[in-house]
Structure 1
Amino acid sequence: MGWNVSDLNDVLIHGDYLYSAMRDAGKINDCTDSFVQVAELPDTHTLNNCTFSIKYGQLLTGLFGISHYDEGLQGFAMSFDEAVKQAFQRFDACLVNMNHTICAVVRQGSWYAVIDPHSRHSDGTYAQYGKSVVTFYGSIESLLIHFKRLGASLNAKNRPFEVTGVEVNKCEQKSKCSFPFVSTTEHNEMKMNAGTDVCPQRSCIRGSFHQGHPRFNPNGGKQCAANSLIAIVMSKMKNVLQWTVSDLNDVLIHGDDLYSAMRDAGKIKDPIDQYIEVAELPDTHTLNNCTFSIKYGQLLTGLFGISGYDEGLQGFAMSFDEAVKQAFQRFDACLYSNKTIFA
């Protein structure tokens, strides 16, 4: 119930990664349209360094809009309303497949949330040029009314539907993935809490997009300070040597969210280009429901490519190499600008 647009975007991004992994592993059996069937979905999945076990209930099926069936079909086919009610008698979530489009329904307390990744109007019905949506319903009756409207917009009447209950649990051996707060020392050091006794699987990871991509308009190309800070924060949650393309994409998505929040709050002082100065970055930040404290070291500066300075600048300006070395004498992370290096 506390989701925002970023969370829904993350659903589509991580869902696409799962689909690609299943496709590449040959686990999708539909050779014509390459749709995933619920029976093909995995029974374990790792997300944000947490592994979850997934159990699926009995497949409940029938023809949408049909309440009564011939005697031979009774006990096998049922109405859509009955299928949803049966699913929520045993589960707090279910997958609904209607006219070859699958969405998730999650119950939290007395509320139901429909998480639909397809093109929809704000009321959750089909739209040719819509967006993914999460819609909320205070009772199962209002939830069923939503699906009646959705079914009508999809021309699903008299077509087969499937409802499958789903139970998801976090695996005990991964309980440590409840991310700890960032600790600091008297030297303002941000300690790495992810182990470093691993080797990266590759020398470079390339994201699916860059910060100037049109998806980030109107912020595109201005978020480098916010993205860099998010990268440091995310390195506290998962060892950067184990990052994947998904993690790098998340840096840019959450960095853009931070930039937008700072812009909307009037915390960016640059009136022309709207670049963030490191001095404007926050000293606390919340990511994935964990709050981190952030402390910044002394600003280290100089002219790039210049090693020796006049006597009047010594002690203030230094070479780039010296600035980096000094930063890593006291810190495990730093921010680099083409103007300055900040530890």
Structure 2
Amino acid sequence: MPRKKGFRMRRAPRSIKSKSDGNACICSEKLLLSVVAGSDVPAAPLSCDVNALIACSVVAAIKHVISPVCTWVYTDVDDICVEGSKLATYVREASQKRNHKKELCKLIEEHNVFGRKWNVEIGLPVYRDFGSFEEENVMYEKVQEYLLRDGMCLLNLHGAVSAIIHHKDYFVMVDCATRDVFGMASGIGTSVAVFNTCLNDLMVHIRNLRKSLDAQWFAISSISVKMGQEDSELQSGTVFTDKPVDIESAGHIRGSFHQGNEQFKYGGLQCMAIALVSVAKHKVYSVFSWQTKDVDRVLVLGNELYTALRDTNRISQRSNVLCVHDLPKQTIIDGDNFLFQYGEFVSGEVDVVEGELIDSGACSSLSIGLETIFAQYDTCLLTVCSSTCAIISQNGQYALVDSHARSVVGMIDENGRSVVVYFSSLKDLFNHICLLSTGLSEKEKPFEIAGIYVTVKSSQLPILSKFSI
């Protein structure tokens, strides 16, 4: 496997260090074992319990946050399997008791793991079939992307799910299935944590494990773990808080991918549809309480809306880029029936603040345009240099939902992801748009702001995956 140019695994550790010296990192103190195996030696089951392996992999990620993987001994591996089994049982029973399926992450957050609640975010999996060097290359790039960003990820080899953890100089594969002393598939064996000293060695181990499993496909998902609220702070059955985001401390919420992601049929053209879905979902669940999975969900739903419009020839332009007049006035999104009323709009050039067109009222400066729209609307669509995003106002705060490839602060980044950027004033929002437009174009920077009224007609409809347009 060739080494990828520019990949340097240097990052601040995300683990929350324990107050106990016994849980402190020991990487610099001794050479670690290549494999840490559990003590339970079961025979391999006739079929693979994917849900149980996912649960154990999530628990492994949580365990690393509590105690760095370099400190693990066989009892830690055993504890992961026990806690993972409890979590899998809870998820299965909770799902059966409810009339509708609840997201896995929300079920995980309701259950105590190692004595407390946890906030876990799992990204959408990237699936590929084995069979070519190019597909294996995708695995390599996704693994390094997620490890660089989150320090961990989930790997599914044809149903065999493992957690991969990057810690200091080690790349550790935590595998709670039945494995031999080398971490390969076996008829009898134990759960293992296999330590690799570089990314290439990890890929060699994955390749060998794939052969021992005869895996025909793989999937990779991102995962991040944070300590949740204490039990006394949680309301029964509630995972999210309705408190507004602290703009000074939060600043942004990032998605796991952007609208050009390869999972989308018409990637790169859906920004206006995604923006419309953003303002709709805000009516149901405030954008100021969103998490990464909410941003991801908006992109997926917006892509579905765009695809429905395009496949039914509802887009007027030959470029297949949406205009406001192409958007539906009523549609069902994620089970809720929304009515949209498209109102006043203003347009102009970002860098033009005066002149004959502005004096005549034909155009507007950006600052006056923002003030005009938000004097009448709480939500709008902003298009700058053909890129559309949603802007939402609530209690004097502003959120800009941008589905394009953006950096943490919402600027152009070819390796970026979707993002929601929060502002505590209209002036800060204005400055952000001006800075963003500079990256979008060195010459003309046309903008258009369209105000929208959104009404939820009914929230009692069955959840549908298709859109009524």
TM-score by length of 2: 0.37
TM-score by length of 1: 0.50
